[in-house]
Amino acid sequence: MFNKVILVGNLTKDIELRYTPGGAAIAKCGIATSRKWKDQSGQQKEETLFIDFTVWGRSAEVVNQYLHKGSKVLLEGRLTLEQWTDQSGQKRSRHTITVENFKMLDGRQDQASQPPQQPTTQSAPAQQPPETNIDIDDEIPF
């Protein structure tokens, strides 16, 4: 099977950066993306989606350093199902994006506060959460 997601949008909040006990960086945030279309009567419609995402390793530190609420970004990754039990004992779940690559789409608006060689594209590191270290070549039937 093929699991790939590409989104372009704006960050809904500042990046939340944390570290695992093993020292791996984890960045979590949300992205807002929208589409516009005309309905059958010709009226302009717009739909906005809010999607949470996670970035791992050095890429997490880079997004935390250079992106902030409102930053325009292209995310490439895979759909992930998060499952947990809430405080009342109910099983909960939601889909999020695990980012594998990203590209910063904002121009340099504040040259003084940014280093001269700001990275614009970053690939996720080889280190991923344990449940995602899957060799997809074993699953491809050709």
**R_g over Cα of the chain:** 17
How far apart, in whole angstroms, are the C-alpha atoms of residue 75 and residue 47?
A: 19
Question: Residue 47: which of 36, 55, 57 has the closest Cα?
Answer: 36
Residue 46 has pLDDT above 70, yes or no: yes
Which residues lie closer than 8 Å to 38 by C-beta, 6 or more apart? 44, 45
Residue 113 has pLDDT above 80, yes or no: no
Confidence of residue 15 (pLDDT cuts 50, 70, 90): very high
pLDDT at 107: 73
Per residue in 55-99, pLDDT (tens digit) is 999 999 999 999 999 999 999 999 999 999 999 999 999 999 999
- Determine how β-strand 16-19 pairs with β-strand 5-11: unpaired
Dihedral sign for Cα atoms in the order 13, 15, 21, 24: positive
Residue 102 has pLDDT above 50, yes or no: yes
**pTM for the structure as a whole:** 0.73
Question: Residue 73: which of 6, 131, 134 has the closest Cα?
Answer: 6
Who has greater pLDDT, 110 or 93?
93
What 3-state DSSP class applies to 111?
helix
